[in-house]
Amino acid sequence: MRAFLLRLRRNEEEARPPHAYLGALGGAGLLALSIVFIVGGYELGVGSLRRLGTGAFPVITGFILAVLSLIVIAADLRDTSDAERPDWISFAAIGAALAVFALTVGRIGLVPGAFLTVITASLPDPSLPVLGKFILGAFVSLACWALFIGLIGLPFAPFGGV
Amino acid sequence: MENLIGFGNGLLVALQPENLLYCFVGVFLGTFIGVLPGIGSMAAISMILPLTFYLEPTSALVMIAGVYYGAEYGGSIASILMNIPGTPSSSITCIDGYPMARDGRAGIALFGSAIASFGGGIIGMIVMAILAPGLAELALNFGPTEYFAVILLGLVAASAVSNGNPIKGITMVVAGLMLGTVGVDITTGAERFTMGIPEMRDGVHLVIVAMGLFGVGELIVSIRANAKGAFQNEIDYKKFYPSRAQWRAMFAPILRGSGIGSFFGALPGTGQTVASAVAYAVEKKVSPNRESFGKGAIEGVAVPEAANNSATQTAFIPTLTLGVPGSASMALVIGALMMYGIVPGPRLLVEHSNLFWGLVASFLIGNILLLILNIPLIGLWVRLLKIPYRYMYPTIIVLICIGVYSLNNNVFDVWLTLAFGWAGYLMRLFRFEPAPFLIGFVLGPMMEEQLRRAMLLSRGDATVFLTRPISGILIAITVILLAYAIASALRARRRARNVAAALSETEALSTSKKG
Amino acid sequence: MKHFLAMSAAALVFAAPAVADPGKWSDEPVRIVVTFPPGGTSDLIARVLAQYFESEYGQKAVVDNRPGAGGTVAADFVAEQTPDGTTLILGNNAPFTIAPTQFEDLPYDPMGDFTHIAYLGASTPALFVQPSSGITTIDEYITQAKGDGITYGSSGVGSITHILGKAVDIELGIEQIHVPYQGSAPAIQDFRAGVLEAYYDMVALNGDLITEGETQPIALAAPERSAAFPDIPTFRELGHDIVIENWTGLSGPAGMDPEMVKTINDTVAEIMQLEPVIERLAQFGVEHTPMSAEDFTTFVEGTITTWEPLIKAANVNG
């Protein structure tokens, strides 16, 4: 597992950084989003000047955003520099950690939920040995128990479902 | 004179040992809770609310207020150290605070923020003591048209907050405005873009957006940067006392920020966020050091902190004198007062003058307490940065999860945070900034609400925005700001083109010479 | 910190009896789910109840705020809990009366999924206009509305004040221009700024404005005149049959033990007779009427049917 991760990391770092013009993808995403809001806004109804409809504001902002994202796309396509190298491993691990918390906290309780979240989040970090991950998880989950349930009194179940 | 006597009496009230104690408990709890990502003054106040039932109204109010502005202090600590804004207004503090921390100057940033918060708090308090009745009048002159104009001004200022490409800054503001429409339309009750999910009816909670875009997004970026040791080693954690030059650099920005903050704080709802955005934008235009804004300028930390803390104090004016809460936390303050049978309103100043002045005086004491409490803690906070990131980031993730989950005790919010976190990371990859988005997202729903209300009340006459004096002036200022921004952008572009032309000319010359 | 402070404070004020009390129904702490964020009237009522459950009967109780989606988030949560008396909801017309008509995809059945336990009380809204408008009677109001038209503020779409506005439209044969706000405080602010011509709000929260002459009450939507404001006529006595009240009650998940329901109902009835409780609720304009659990269930069911046409009217026309 650890060797695999290290290799994955190395491969990622040796790869050529992406071109900045990929930034245009961001603009394209915003353009797509603005179209969703413009179309959806029209369906909801734009109303009249006196009584602006439910869809009026989404349509107005959608149009402005569409124009702006076209400008952004044009500018990004002309950019010739290198972009930031994405870190998809951390991207996935952090996402997974949040998902683990969401799936566990209501079912098995805050303490085991926080424990598993810590383990998941630290999975891609080869610098922390497995035992270290377990100790960190135990420490964090117990500290959260003491702090949030004991001291602050948030209505969470430490163990078990709600 | 009358005010001075009132303030003197208030000081006596606030200095009573038990009020002093509750003030301390309040600011301590506030700072502590404010540091925790996602758990803001709302959670802290609701936590102590049951306890306040056993107290005198003044003590209760002093403690609740302490929590409120204490949390504002604490929020900036998380912004500077972790790039996670506890409150929307401290998202502006992230812009320069976090780069300072990465630069190894976290101590100075924290100290600057504490001093600026103190300055802002004190100036806000003075404004409140002198001008409370006048500012209440002002807020009473603000109808929907005026609010719309103020928000427009705030948004134009917010797009200037971006430190990268200004077009991308405006794009993010507009994207925030647009996405702010998700949820039930408060004017018609129709659902918009909720995809039929009941939890989406109330829209996406601001804390989720802030935690996702700033917290989670930043975390993903930092994991690798830290693994490479990009910023860890060079922290000088003993040094947090600013140099004489830095003191001088902060002085005027604090005054300007507090002035702007005091004004906007008195307008319920828009208050702190608009205040810190406008103050930052203004400072970025007038500061002699404007070049380094966004890259870790101490002024960039001082200004929003001074603005949002002074706004935090003056926010009590509409709450107490008009009974209009500007935020959920302020609604709690009203709720607490109602428990004692004290109805906030114009008569509060007269009928409960000891309560009012006691509160004002407690701001002075609370801010001093906060300073005493925070300065020794700076060393401790900075030491947190010494903890290797491999221990820190899983812990921060858990804190974010708990903070978000505590909003409604609903895991759906955690899933949304995941979505916004990923979006935040992608935004960074594509060089978009989250701060303008967040401001657009906060102000969008208010802007829409006021716009539609203004149109309803004027019965469809759009000229009201120009004919009502206050809104006319505000719109004029906005237009001038916008024109100035466009003009200077064009000028910069022309200059760049001229330089490029000149360069290619010289190149052409030199090649022809060679030839 | 909180627990420590709250408990020591509680211990100072009340020495709770250690023996099992007849008014106590669970050894576990009871959570009272509130459909609003902390600080609102609903939250404060729940806290009063929780405080007296514990001080008078030794029944530990905590308030759990689960705001969102017009109270349906809280109601849905409670409907899914075990009916052992440890989870109750401080219900009101939002999740139980309005939501069933307003939302087609409601995840719960307001009658079948709940045990309605005890009625707490209700507060009444009234119609207010600008004193400078010269309008003092309902007939003058009708004339104005039919002439230049009138804008009125409510505390939100589908809120009780909006529904009242719609009821007035229908009953009086007028068409007021509805301007929704988020809560009544901002509506009153715009009213005082002079841009809003009228508003509907709980009469008890407007006492100061009435005495100061800042607002002119026209009519009250209660069955009878209010003891605190005897000068305000009711719609009914003016010849318009409009009664819209903001009720509050305690409910639990379906299938609760009838014995336990009776215990809770009795306990609540006793608490509602205590002088400090009556006083505190009066501040919010809430007046208690004793009601058995059966009557309360019939009451909730009745509000759903009587309000249905008004809610539909309120949703169609914005």
What residues of chain A lie within 8 A of the CB of C3, using their CB?
150-151, 153
Mutate to test the interface with A, among B51, B178, B486 (most CBs of A within 10 A): B178
The DSSP H or E segment spanning C115 is: strand C114-123
- pLDDT of B510 reads 54
Lowest mean pLDDT among B222-236, B397-411, C109-123: B222-236
Find residues 220-279 of chain C whose CB sits inside 8 Å of chain B. Answer: none
Instruction: Specify whether A68 is located in the same domain as A96.
Output: no
Query: DSSP characters for B369-405?
Result: HHHHHHHHHHHHHHHHTTS-HHHHHHHHHHHHHHHHH
In a domain, A8, yes or no: no
ipTM of the complex: 0.90
Q: State the chains in contact with A (3 or more Cβ–Cβ pairs under 8 Å).
A: B, C
Chain C residues touching B333 at Cβ < 8 A: 39
Helices (H), B141-203: 144-161, 166-179
Q: Which two tokens stand for residue C218?
A: 């026209």
Residue A106 to chain C, least CA–CA distance (Å): 12
- Establish if A108 belongs to a structural domain: yes
Are the CB atoms for B325 and B333 separated by under 8 Å? Answer: yes
Decide which of A71 and B387 is more confident.
A71
Q: Provide the token pair at C42.
A: 């609903």
Q: What's the rounded Cα separation, in Å, for the pair B434 and B424?
A: 7
Residue A159 has pLDDT above 90, yes or no: no
Cα of B349 to nearest chain A Cα, Å:
34
Neighbouring C-beta atoms of residue C307, cutoff 10 Å: 20
Please give the residue range of the domain that contains residue B372.
2-467
Q: What is the 3-state secondary structure (H, E, C) of B89-130?
A: HHHHHHHHHHHHHHCCCHHHHHHHHHHHHHHHHHHHHHHHHH
Q: What is the mean pLDDT of chain B?
A: 81
Q: How far apart are CA A43 and CA A54, in angstroms?
A: 9
Q: Tell me how many residue pairs between chain B and chain C have CB atoms under 8 A apart.
A: 144
Instruction: Report the distance separating Cα B412 and Cα B204, nearest Å.
Output: 10
In contact, A23 and A79? CB cutoff 8 Å: yes
Q: A32 and A63 share a domain?
A: yes
Q: What are phi and psi of C59, to 5 degrees?
A: -90, 105
Using a CB–CB cutoff of 8 Å, tell me whether A142 touches chain B. no
Task: Give B46 or A43, the one with higher predicted confidence.
Answer: A43
Query: Which range of residues forms the domain containing residue A133?
Result: 88-151
Please name the amino acid found at residue C288: H
d(CA C59, CA B415): 36
**Do A18 and A49 sit in the same domain of this protein?**
yes
Looking at residue C10, its pLDDT comes to 39
A40 at B interface, C-beta within 8 A = yes
Q: Note whether residue B372 is domain-resident.
A: yes
Candidate from A44, A153, A155 with C-beta closest to B192 = A44
Question: By three-state DSSP, how is residue C116 classified?
Answer: strand
One-character DSSP codes across C168-197: HHHHHT---EEEE-SSHHHHHHHHHTT---
Higher pLDDT, B384 or A28: A28
Mean predicted confidence (pLDDT) in B443-471: 87
Report which secondary-structure segment, H or E, holds C117. Answer: strand C114-123
Q: Is the pLDDT of residue B78 over 80?
A: yes
Q: Which of A96, A87, A130, A133 is closest to B224 using CA atoms?
A: A87
Q: What angle do CA B350, B139, B94 make, to 5 degrees?
A: 115
Residue A30 lies in a domain: yes
Contact flag B140-C193 (C-beta cutoff 8 Å): yes
Model pLDDT, residue C200:
94
Q: Is B459 on the interface with A (CB under 8 A)?
A: yes
Please indicate whether, in this complex, the C-beta atoms of B391 and A136 are within 8 angstroms of each other. Answer: yes
**CB of A46 less than 8 A from some CB of B:** no
Cα angle: B10, vertex B4, B265; to 5 degrees? 75
Instruction: Please name the residues in contact with B289: beta carbons below 8 A apart, sequence gap of 6 or more.
Output: B249, B297, B299
* Residue of chain C whose Cα is closest to the Cα of A154: C64
Phi/psi zone of residue B196: left (φ > 0), alpha (ψ -120 to 50 degrees), beta?
left
| Contact predicate C25/C64, CB 8 Å | no
Cα separation, B349 vs B337, in Å, equals 14
A96 and A71 within one domain: no
Closest CB to C283: pick one of B48, B338, B456. B338
In the predicted model, is pLDDT for residue B487 greater than 90? no
Residue of chain C whose Cα is closest to the Cα of B183:
C69
Residue B355 located in a structural domain: yes
Nearest to B49 among C38, C179, C315 (CB): C38
The 10s digit of each residue's pLDDT in B339-372 is: 676 777 767 777 788 888 888 888 888 899 888 8
Contact at CB, A153 and C31, closer than 8 angstroms: no
Q: Which residue has the tokens 């077009």?
A: B167
| pLDDT confidence of residue C2 | 39
First-to-final CA distance of chain B:
85
The upper half-sphere exposure of residue B156, i.e. CA atoms within 13 Å in the direction of its Cβ, equals 19
Interface check A28 vs B, CB under 8 A:
no
Residue B44 token pair: 């802290």
pLDDT band with cut points at 50, 70 and 90 for residue A126? confident
The pLDDT score that the predictor gives to residue C18 is 38
d(CA B356, CA B7): 9
Q: Which CATH architecture has domain C29-123+246-316?
A: 3-Layer(aba) Sandwich (3.40)
pLDDT exceeds cutoff 60 at B507: no
**Mean pLDDT along residues B329-337:** 75
Q: Taking a contact as any Cβ pair under 8 Å apart, which residues of chain C between 232 and 261 contact chain A?
A: none
A72 close to B (CB below 8 A): yes
Over 80: is that where the pLDDT of A134 sits?
A: yes
Q: Does A155 touch chain C (CB under 8 A)?
A: yes
Position B99 scores a pLDDT of 86
In a domain, A161, yes or no: no
The answer to whether B44 and B67 are in contact (CB under 8 A) is yes
Centroid of chain to Cα B183: 23
Question: Using the 8-state DSSP alphabet, how is residue B268 labeled?
Answer: T
Cβ proximity of C199 and C153 under 8 Å: yes
CA-wise closest residue to B148 among B453, B441, B442: B453
Q: How many angstroms separate the CA of residue B411 from the nearest CA in chain A?
A: 5
Report the number of secondary-structure helices (H) and strands (E) in chain B: 22, 2
How many whole angstroms from its chain centre is CA B255? 17
- C154: enclosing H helix or E strand: strand C151-154
Gap between the Cα atoms of B265 and B269, Å rounded: 8
Q: Does C16 touch chain B (CB under 8 A)?
A: no
* SS3 (DSSP) at B318: helix
Q: Which amino acid is at C171?
A: E
Yes or no, beta carbons of B408 and C192 under 8 Å apart: no
Contact B70, B58 (CB under 8 A): no
End-to-end CA, chain C: 47
The alpha-carbon gap from B252 to the nearest alpha carbon of chain A, in Å, equals 35
Residue C219 forms beta bridges with which residues?
C127
One domain, residues A115 and A59:
no
Write out chain B residues lying below 8 Å of A106, CB-based: 411
| Residue that terminates a domain, selected from A44, A77, A110 | A77
| List of chains touching C (3+ CB pairs within 8 A) | A, B
pLDDT at B118 over 70: yes
Task: Look at domain C127-220 and name its CATH class.
Answer: alpha beta
Residue bearing tokens 């999860």 = B401
Residue B182, domain member (yes or no):
yes
Picking from B275, B300, B298, B274, the residue whose alpha carbon sits closest to that of residue B285 is B300
More confident site: B219 or A142: A142
- Are A71 and A121 part of one and the same domain? no
Domain extents for chain C?
Answer: 29-123+246-316, 127-220
Q: What is the tally of structural domains in chain A?
A: 2
Residue A61 has its nearest CB partner, among B174, B216, B409, at B174
Contact assignment for B51 to C5 by CB distance below 8 Å: yes
C-beta atoms surrounding B467 within 10 Å: 11
Nearest of B427, B306, B407 to residue C66 by alpha carbon: B407
Q: How close does chain A come to C81, measured CA to CA in Å?
A: 9
In a domain, A116, yes or no: yes
The kind and range of the H/E element at C200 are: strand C198-202
Is the pLDDT assigned to residue B235 strictly greater than 70?
no
Between B50-54, B129-133, B229-233, C264-268, the lowest mean confidence (pLDDT) is in B229-233
In a domain? residue A162: no
Q: Min CA distance, A104 vs chain B (Å)?
A: 9
At A160, the pLDDT band (50, 70, 90 cuts) reads: confident
pLDDT of residue B326: 66
Count the neighbouring beta carbons within 10 Å of the beta carbon of residue C169.
19
Are A66 and A104 part of one and the same domain?
no
Q: What token pair was written down for C89?
A: 């909801």
| 3-class state of residue B136 by DSSP | helix
Q: Do C2 and B48 touch (CB under 8 A)?
A: yes
In a domain, residue B495? The reply is no
Using 70 as the pLDDT threshold, list the residues of chain C that sit under it.
1-23, 38-39, 315-318
- Identity of residue B350: V
Structural domain includes residue A67: yes
Check: CB of residue A86 under 8 Å from CB of residue B428.
no
User: If DSSP codes are grouped into helix, strand and coil, which group holds residue B219?
Assistant: helix
Domain total in chain B: 1
- Give the single-character DSSP code of C232: S
